[in-house]
A and B are shown apart, each in its own frame.
Chain A
Amino acid sequence: MSELKTPPSGGAKAAAATADYLDQRTGVGNAVKFFARKVFPDHWSFFLGEIALYSFVTLLISGVFLTLFFVPSMSEVTYPTEGVWATMRGVEMSEAFSSTLRLSFEVRGGLLMRQIHHWAALVFMAAIVVHMMRVFFTGAFRKPREINWVVGFVLLILGLAAGFSGYSLPDDVLSGNGLRITDGVIKAIPIIGSYMSYFVFGGEFPGHDLIPRLFTVHILLVPGLILALIGLHLFLMVMHKHTQYPGSGRKNTNVVGYPAVPVYAGKLLFNFFVVFGVIALMAGTMTINPVWNYGPYDPSPVSAGAQPDWYMLFLEGALRLMPGATEVMIGPYTLSLNVIIPAMIVPGILFTALAAYPFLEAFATGDKSEHHVLDRPRNRPFRTAFGVALLVAFFILVLAGSNDLIATHFHLSINDITWTFRVFLFLGPWIAFVVTKRICLGLQRKDRELVLHGHETGRIVRFASGEYIEVHKPLDAHERWLRVQHEAVRPLEIEPAEDSRGVRRKGYKADRMRQRLSQLFYEDRVEPVTPAEVAAAHGHDEHDEQHTAIEGHGQPAGVGASAHGAEPDGETAPDGRNS
């Protein structure tokens, strides 16, 4: 095929022969053809998922190392009296705890690997949350990606399970008390609670089965599921082709970006080293989970600052905030609403809202088309405000879970803090919702302003008539497109309840509910500027008067400027130098 003047080198020949060998047996050429120059859009926020992915790979690598030395057993041993750690000499402990000490203190590089593993777990969960926030606020979960959102959501839950099961493995006092709390929560389940507790612990708490069981969950079941779902997650991502941010030339029907080979593949490769590198740096310099401080598990002691890792802290916070009076008796039976509500119902609501949101929004929008261009968060005030409200609720619970540390560090009363958070758990999300929505609408209005009148230049010009005016510099086509490309979704309109003959229509109630939801989502909005408005704005002399409200409320947007009529030659700059 090629007409090379120079004969191919030995290396090239060998490569070609290998490729030929592989292709004849696997048809790999097809895959290369499909993938090699596939286009991927580029944006920093698209790396967030990669951070999660690579911290997971880091977890796998360091985890394999740890399994070589960790002994998942609750049988009792005594730390040797000549052991390296002075405060443990002669102390009775489980094999799990003693092997954790050994791999931390005696295995070369063991402490580093343990710390890499734990920091990577914290970063993994944090990256998942941030990635999920990115997907949520930009509307990347819309059709056709709803299923992938659910896959991601399940990955979040599995991440929690992986973190929790791993956190408890060293069998120290801190995580042991965490397990004890778990036992208390399980027992609170109505009717089957005590049996569930036996199911988990293999008898009474703490029993002898838990650490081996958690070990199997932690190194086999959960990571296996995570791996499988990551595969599905990425497969769907490739199938759908990645979303892209709005901008000139970015359409719903195309994807603009860099080819897989070499740019995207290169970044994919090197980002792994970046993520692993940062985690290694943390593990080399910052202590994490010093179990030798807590000591081996014993049901009697507990230490101040008894908290779980950050991703479980919201549950701890919910448990702390709930007043005890809510435990009730039904006949001879105890219903611990003081545990069930914070440990099951509140997280249930938070997580269900998160998982179901794409379907809820699709229902309210009534939109059946595919979306591949992302939203700017300001252009979806309801969604953005809803997301921020959820985050604020989560954050308040996290703070409530840290209330004792807040008390000691800021010299406050723990009782006052608890009461404050009890109130703010209800107020905070509402305030956040309203404020965020106002900010979004404000930003959209600012966008309109810019498109209609351009950037302020700070240059004041005087007309012959004596009038002063500031020269505005119009936006260029790219800047403007970014601000007008979106569709403003309007509330659904439904058919009336009765037809022309006055007969009640079937399904009206369902429609009406849907319309209400739709109104909740889209009633307050700011419409993007139309060419006619720009023309009108430029045609109007007193350009400062037309800032009348542009947002619609219940009906299509009123357009303040259009009433003034268009004079196509009007300009903000009287001397015309601006045009």
Chain B
Amino acid sequence: MSTHDPHSDVVVHGEGELPDRFDDPGLHEHKPRQADVDPKVAKRVERQVLFLFTLSILGTIGVVWAYFALPPGETPDSMRTSNVVLGVCLALSLLGIGIGGNHYIKVLMSNREYVEERHEQRSSDETREIAVQMLKDGAQDSGLSRRGALVGAGLTALALFPLAIVVPLIGNVGEDWNVRKFKHTMWKKGTRLATDPQGRPIKASDVTIGDVWHVIPDGLNELEHGKLDEKAKAIVLLVRLDPRDLKSDQSPAGETWGYDGIVAYSKVCTHVGCPVALYEQQTHHLLCPCHQSTFDVADACKVVFGPAKRPLPQLPITVDDEGYLVAQSDFHEPVGPSFWERATK
């Protein structure tokens, strides 16, 4: 129970008139810690800190020992052992110092609080006046105020100079800047469809209902240059549906882009370009694992859910003389995410 009288703090001004605000009672009285008054406690804490620092020394020795004695080796087990022992010893070495030092500061270092005055950030009026005067003098000495044309030319030169750096620097960054490449892939008339990643050409007779085939153009794996660039655009997903389930595909009137229930669609999402690879056999839905755009393969790959707007472009396919699936042509529209001039010629 406090013996403090709450009324005593309310300073009475004049005749019973109370102030608007309470007064700050001032800093707490400094209370000594146990370790300040009891040498035994201080001694104990000293021993604790000593122990922690010793632990750190042992940790460091442990790291060096483990470095030589526990190489990562050849198996996941030996790698894990090496990593765990090194990591835990390093942590001991560091935490021993960190916790020990902080413990010492908390308990044994003086904890007397000090008060320092603050000053306004702004400089004094006098300083400001001097500063302004200095600048004026400087301007005067420069003699520029009388030479307007010179200043203008100088500023223009300064403003233009960065171009000398930026143009060569930026100019090459985009290599050939030929953004029309977005609109074409390496699929062309007669390119065989091959399995990804093996590159085996696919026979139409091998494709059964309920299958899903991840497809690359035949010959992609043999490309010398830009293999990944081409692959990034050319990947295709091939499925065979029961022709009764196939509601529609993207073939224009009078043409057939599928073959006996087999349809091929670009695997690059029309949202932001993830591979839309997740095919649900029963619902014929294709799901993108990145942002969950869902496309209906049975219905021309139209979007049924998620952030994509456009259907996945269809690759027109047919079979060649040997029964292999081949492309009729390239895609009839750019694959992948939308860009500004996507639909232009």
| Pair B22/A474 contact, Cβ less than 8 Å | no
User: Taking each of B113, B177, B216, B343, which has the highest tally of chain A beta carbons within 10 Å of its own beta carbon?
Assistant: B113
Interface pair B86/A284, CB less than 8 Å apart: yes
Is A68's CB within 8 Å of the partner chain B? no
- For the complex, is A234 an interface residue (Cβ under 8 Å from B)? no
Question: B28–A478 contact, CB under 8 A?
Answer: yes
Flag whether B40 is at the interface (Cβ < 8 A): no
Contact digits for A240-270, partner B, Cβ 8 Å, 1 yes 0 no: 1100000011011111111100110011011
**A237 sits at the interface (CB 8 A):** no
B247 on the interface (CB 8 Å rule)?
no
The residue from A189, A270, A327 contacting B101, defined by CB atoms under 8 A apart: A270
Task: Give the A-B pair count, Cβ closer than 8 A.
Answer: 362
Contacting B at CB under 8 A, from A316-350, are: 316, 319-327, 329, 332-336, 338-339, 342
A105-B79, A108-B67, A256-B113 known; A274+B99 contact, CB < 8 A: yes
Please indicate which of the listed interface residues A269, A275, A320, A454 has the most CB atoms of chain B within 10 Å of its own CB: A320
Task: For the complex, give the distance between the alpha carbons of A336 and B342 in Å.
Answer: 11
Cα separation A481 to B4 with both chains bound (whole Å): 14
Give the contact-size bracket for chain B.
35 or more
Q: Is B168 an interface residue (CB 8 A)?
A: no
Known: A39-B114, A274-B95, A370-B120. A475 touches B6 (CB 8 A): yes
CB of B82 closer than 8 Å to a CB of A:
yes
Q: Of all chain B residues, which has the CB nearest A143?
A: B121
Inter-chain contact A334/B84, CB cutoff 8 Å = no
Pairwise interchain contact B341-A300, C-beta atoms closer than 8 A: no
Chain A residue contacts of B25, Cβ below 8 A: 248-249, 477-478, 481
B167-205 contact mask (Cβ, 8 Å, vs A): 1 or 0? 000100111110101100000000000001100000000
Partner-contacting stretch, out of A201-209, A214-222, A427-435, A514-522: A201-209
Q: Shortest beta-carbon distance, B251 to chain A, in Å?
A: 23
Cα–Cα, bound, A84→B72 (Å): 10
Stretch from A131-139, A180-188, A438-446 that touches the partner: A180-188
Q: Please, what's the 1-or-0 string for B258-275, where 1 marks a CB less than 8 Å from any CB in chain A?
A: 000000000101011111
Asked whether A253 lies within 8 Å of B117 as measured between CB atoms, the reply is yes
Minimum CB–CB distance from B344 to chain A (whole Å) comes to 5
Closest approach, in angstroms, between the C-beta of A78 and any C-beta of chain B?
A: 14
Nearest CB of B to A106, in Å: 7
Q: Determine if B1 and A300 form an interchain contact, defined as CB atoms under 8 angstroms apart.
A: no
- Residues of B contacting A568 in the complex (Cβ-Cβ under 8 angstroms): 7
Q: Which residues of B contact A96 (CB under 8 A)?
A: none
Smallest beta-carbon distance B22→chain A, Å:
5
Q: How far is the CA of A568 from the CA of B174 in the complex (A)?
A: 82
Contact partners of A37 in chain B: CB under 8 A: 114
| Closest chain B residue, CB of each to CB of A454 | B6
Q: Taking the complex as formed, is A16 at the interface, i.e. its CB lies under 8 A from any CB of chain B?
A: no
Of the stretches A191-199, A351-359, A544-552, the one at the interface is: A191-199
Interface size for A (C-beta < 8 A) is 129
By the criterion CB–CB under 8 Å, are B114 and A256 in contact? yes
B88 touching A273, Cβ below 8 Å: no
B163 within 8 A of A: no
| B307/A180 in contact, CB under 8 A | no
Are the CB atoms of B88 and A484 closer together than 8 Å?
A: no
Contacts of A531 in B (CB 8 A): 10-11, 18-22
Contacting pair A302 B290 (CB below 8 A) = yes
Tell me if A481 and B22 are in contact (CB < 8 A): yes
How far is A240 from B339 in the complex, measured between Cα atoms in Å?
48
Q: In this complex, what residue of A is CB-closest to B122?
A: A144
User: For chain B residues 221-235, which have a beta carbon within 8 Å of chain A?
Assistant: 226, 228-229, 231-233, 235
Bound-state Cα–Cα, A144 to B120, Å: 9
- The answer to whether A206 touches B228 (Cβ under 8 A) is yes
Q: With a CB–CB cut-off of 8 A, which chain A residues contact B177? A: 195, 198
Which residue of B179, B267, B290 contacts A195 across the interface (Cβ within 8 Å)?
Answer: B179
User: For residue B102, which residues in chain A have a CB less than 8 angstroms away from its CB?
Assistant: 266-267, 270-271, 274
Q: Which residues of B contact A198 (CB under 8 A)?
A: 173-175, 177, 179
Residues of B within 8 A of A334 (CB): 338-343
Residues in A neighbouring B174, C-beta threshold 8 A: 195, 198-199, 202-203
Q: Is A554 an interface position by the 8 A CB rule?
A: no
CB neighbours (8 Å) of A199 from chain B are: 170, 173-174
Q: Quick check: A474 and B175 within 8 Å, CB to CB?
A: no
Contact of B118 among A253, A283, A284 (CB under 8 A): A253
- The interface centre, meaning the residue of B7, B71, B94, B307 with most chain A CB atoms within 10 A of its CB, is B307
- Closest partner residue, chain B, to A185 (CB atom): B272
A473, CB-defined interface residue at 8 Å: yes
**A285-310 residues at the B interface, CB under 8 angstroms:** 285, 297-306
In the complex, chain A residues whose CB is within 8 Å of the CB of B65 = none
> Are B343 and A329 in contact (CB-based, < 8 A)?
yes
| Bound complex: CA A455 to CA B73 (Å) | 65
State whether A579 and B95 are in contact (beta carbons under 8 Å apart), knowing that A531-B18, A531-B22 are contacts in the complex.
no
Instruction: Name the A residues within 8 Å of B344 (CB-CB).
Output: 332-333
Check B1 against A205 for contact (C-beta < 8 Å): no
Which residues of A (114-166) have their CB < 8 Å from a CB of B?
115, 144
Kindly list chain A residues whose C-beta atoms are within 8 Å of the C-beta of B339: 187-188, 193-194, 197, 334, 336
A267 CA / B103 CA spacing, docked (Å): 10
CB closest chain-B residue, reference A568: B7
Query: Please, which residues of chain A bring their CB within 8 A of the CB of B231?
Result: 298-300
Known interface pairs A181-B272, A181-B274, A255-B116. Does A249 touch B24 (Cβ–Cβ under 8 Å)?
yes
Give chain B residues whose Cβ lies under 8 Å from the Cβ of A333. Answer: 340-341, 343-344
User: Judging by beta carbons under 8 Å apart, are A256 and B109 in contact?
Assistant: no
A325 pairs with B79, CB closer than 8 A:
no
Residues of B near A111 (CB, < 8 A) are 72, 79, 82-83
Residue B243 at the A interface, CB < 8 A?
Answer: no
A376 within 8 A of B: no
A266→B272 contact, CB < 8 A: no
> Which residue of chain A has its CB nearest to the CB of B120?
A370
A490 at the interface (CB under 8 A from B): no
Does B239 lie at the interface of the complex (its beta carbon under 8 Å from any beta carbon of A)?
Answer: no
Let me know if B27 is at the binding interface, CB within 8 A: yes
One digit per residue, 1 when the CB lies within 8 angstroms of any chain A CB and 0 when it does not, for chain B 1-40 equals 1101111011100000011111011111000000000000
Among A144, A184, A475: residue with most chain B CB under 10 A:
A184
- In the bound assembly, the distance between CA atoms of A284 and B289 in angstroms comes to 31
Top 9 A-B residue pairs of the complex, sorted by shortest distance between their CB atoms: A284-B87, A184-B272, A273-B98, A277-B94, A249-B27, A270-B101, A274-B98, A277-B95, A327-B309
In the assembled complex, 24 residue pairs joining A and B whose CB atoms fall closer than 8 Å, in A order, are A84-B72, A105-B72, A115-B83, A184-B271, A187-B338, A191-B340, A195-B174, A204-B233, A248-B25, A248-B26, A270-B98, A280-B94, A284-B91, A300-B196, A302-B289, A302-B290, A306-B274, A320-B292, A321-B307, A326-B309, A327-B309, A477-B25, A484-B21, A529-B22
**Residues in B lying within 8 Å of A, measured CB to CB:** 1-2, 4-7, 9-11, 18-22, 24-28, 67, 71-72, 74, 79, 82-88, 90-95, 97-102, 104-105, 109-111, 113-118, 120-121, 170, 173-177, 179, 181-182, 196-197, 214, 216, 226, 228-229, 231-233, 235, 267, 269, 271-275, 277-278, 289-293, 303, 305-310, 336-344
